[in-house]
Amino acid sequence: MNDRPRAPELPAGFAWLNTDRPLTFAKELQGQVVLLDFWTYCCINCMHVLPDLAYLERKYRDQPFLVIGVHSAKFTNEGQRQTVRAAVGRYEIEHPVIIDESMRIWSEYAVRSWPTLVLVGADRRIIGGVAGEGNRDSLDAAIATALEEARGKGILAQAPLRLARERSVRAASGLAFPGKVLADAAGGRLFIADSNHNRIVVATLPDEEGRSRLLRTIGHGRVGREDGPAEGAGFHHPQGLALLGEVLYVADTENHLIRAVDMSSWTVTTVAGTGAQGFDRSGGNLGTKQALNSPWDLAIEGSTLYIAMAGPHQLWRLDLPMGLCRAFVGSGRENIVDGPVEAAALAQPSGLALLGNYLYFADSEVSAVRRVDLAEERVETLIGRGLFDFGDRDGDFGSARLQHPLGVAAWRKRVLVADTYNHKIKEIDVEQRTVRTLAGDGRPGTEREGHLALFEPGGLHAADDVLYIADTNNHRVVRLSLIDAGWREVVIEGLEAPEPEDSTAAGAPAFLTTARLRAGEATAWRVAVNLPEGAHVSEEAPASLRVARGSEVMLQRTILGAQWPLAFELPAQPEGAADLHIQVSFAYCNEGQGVCVPANPSWRVPVTFDRNGEASAELVAAVS
């Protein structure tokens, strides 16, 4: 008699992502060994489990074994299919994910913490579960045993399930989930952590219209950790940036490294970290002998590099001349406790900014903005109360609430915060002890009635009364005037997304059409697409449009919830001929399926502009 409990069924009607059909133990999962990963996408420990899951998926890809993510949200913002879909793309998850409404599956499986992994045998009996990270080897052994036992009993399925997977849209901006941004006013440069392209983008500082020019990219664009010349260097989802003279420091987050880019020679070296995740909460070793744990942001003062170490819930510091790297703030216990730096408790610090004698940090898991008095070495909380206390409220410090902020920036005597899960930028007046919203309306978007909207902005930097925003899930950077609130999407001429490793994912050849348009006046354009029967354009993923004339980008727009056909206006052009290249990127979904397919139609349009030309043009593409 089998005394193992029977796995509760996965509920009908719950939303699925990354699979072309819902899955149940009674049907599709019969005879499969299934590993359920209970996660929430804010959680650093959940992020640390993902490489282990990817390893197991690769190892058993030819076996009847499947990982299923059960997304049981902590924050309100994480309970939406749109935001979970973005997280699946950002973390490059390849297994199916079910959205656990009201944490019903969590309750039925008696889960108590994130992440928790539950292994279900081919007979639908629960073999066991484990909480936390660092369990790859025990899971591997349990899966191998479960497969062997089921095969011996003759109950193992003949083959693994073959499911369709999501693929990312290649944004016209040339960026993919940019995490952090740094503006160098003195040098006239903008640095962008192009996180999911595994590279750093260096461009000129944008003008008031948001126009910029690519100077260079650092990194070959694939996951790697190679040092050396910029074009051959490797990164793994880099985040934080800090500049000291002509050396750019990079938090190479998923490599658990700190890298240095010599801007005079365009070479990359590793200055701290071993390349493997460390669990040391004290430090004290030199440079590449000191293991790090998910460094997320950087700030620099003199010869000291401060590191927001999200993994152990601490702030560290690196003495650059000596290379000594050690913990500075936080005991390593995840909580919100003020006081002396060694006794304070932090919760996934993810953003840093220096202002006066203080080091400010976004403490994301407690939805807080806090600061370290560098003279007294004490921690003080400005906004934030606890691990499960969050919201979206302006006002005085006592009543104000944030939701999982990831970035902070210093501006004059104030602190700006990327209130990430509220899709807002807020201003903290430290002297008046108040908070107010500068941009965003609390909903994912790109623009509403001319006002700036955002989608989980992750990084900020202010220079010369201008704020630069890494609008992460919209795959763009935004330039926002802190004087008059005027804003522009940054357009970087010469920047393109790296070619995908999978050649089948490359864009289709451009459609060729011709047009004769009116010179001297703006012209109205419409872009339409004919989709397969039963498909619709996704309103949950951003679409983007770029119109180029040679190397000149004439127009670039990112639109979330776009109305189709897409309409745009091309500025007035002089008489003559022009060869336009028009790129559109979006995702479309089939009814009743949890998989959306990227589409990147483009057109080559030789245009003649004269005084008798048409006032409008229409482009149509068939997408299969």
pLDDT digits (tens, 9 = 90+) for 475-527: 999 999 999 999 999 999 999 999 876 544 445 678 888 999 999 999 999 99
Range(s) within the chain of domains with CATH label 3.40.30.10: 16-153
Find residue 352's DSSP bridge partners: 361
Look at residue 484 in the predicted model and tell me its pLDDT: 96
The CATH classification number of 508-622 equals 2.60.40
Identity of residue 616 = S
Look at residue 499 in the predicted model and tell me its pLDDT: 80
Residue 260 φ then ψ, to 5°: -125, 130
pLDDT at 378 over 50: yes
Distance CA 254, CA 251 (A): 9
Instruction: Average the pLDDT over each of 58-72, 277-291, 528-542 and give the range with the smallest value.
Output: 528-542
Out of 3.90.930.12, 2.40.110.10, 3.40.30.10, 2.30.40.10, select the CATH number for domain 16-153: 3.40.30.10
- The whole-number average pLDDT for the span 112-132 is 98
- The whole-number average pLDDT for the span 55-64 is 98
Look at residue 504 in the predicted model and tell me its pLDDT: 44
pLDDT at 581 over 80: yes
Residue 460 φ then ψ, to 5°: -140, 150
The residue assigned the tokens 């992440």 is: 115
pLDDT digits (tens, 9 = 90+) for 84-103: 999 999 999 999 999 999 99
**Percentage of the chain lying above the pLDDT 90 cut:** 92
pLDDT at 1 over 60: no
Average pLDDT in the chain: 95
Look at residue 501 in the predicted model and tell me its pLDDT: 65
Look at residue 508 in the predicted model and tell me its pLDDT: 61
pLDDT digits (tens, 9 = 90+) for 513-545: 899 999 999 999 999 999 988 899 999 999 999
The answer to whether residues 191 and 238 touch, using CB atoms and an 8 Å cutoff, is no
151: exposed, middle or buried (Cβ count in 10 Å: 0-12, 13-18, 19+): middle
HSE of 341, CA atoms in CB hemisphere, 13 A: 19
- The whole-number average pLDDT for the span 534-561 is 93
The answer to whether residues 147 and 33 touch, using CB atoms and an 8 Å cutoff, is yes
Look at residue 457 in the predicted model and tell me its pLDDT: 98
pLDDT digits (tens, 9 = 90+) for 132-143: 999 999 999 999
- The whole-number average pLDDT for the span 359-387 is 98
Instruction: Average the pLDDT over each of 138-142, 408-412, 463-467, 560-564 and give the range with the smallest value.
Output: 560-564
| pLDDT grade for 288, boundaries at 50, 70 and 90 | very high
- The whole-number average pLDDT for the span 136-156 is 98
Range(s) within the chain of domains with CATH label 2.60.40: 508-622
Sheet holding 116-120, edge to edge: 16-17, 97-99, 65-71, 33-39, 116-120, 126-131
378: exposed, middle or buried (Cβ count in 10 Å: 0-12, 13-18, 19+): middle
- The whole-number average pLDDT for the span 150-157 is 97
pLDDT at 115 over 60: yes
For the whole prediction, is pTM greater than 0.85?
yes
The CATH classification number of 181-493 equals 2.120.10.30
Nearest to 516 by CA among 621, 615, 582: 615
- Residue 474 falls in which region: left (phi positive, over 0), alpha (psi -120 to 50) or beta: alpha
Find out whether the peptide bond into 321 is cis, omega within 30 degrees of 0.
no
Look at residue 503 in the predicted model and tell me its pLDDT: 45
How far CA 512 is from CA of 605, 617, 620, in Å, comes to 6, 14, 11
| pLDDT grade for 384, boundaries at 50, 70 and 90 | very high
The answer to whether residues 116 and 48 touch, using CB atoms and an 8 Å cutoff, is no
DSSP letter at 450? T
- Give the tokens for residue 253: 């987050």
The answer to whether residues 517 and 608 touch, using CB atoms and an 8 Å cutoff, is yes
| pLDDT grade for 562, boundaries at 50, 70 and 90 | confident
pLDDT digits (tens, 9 = 90+) for 24-37: 999 999 999 999 99
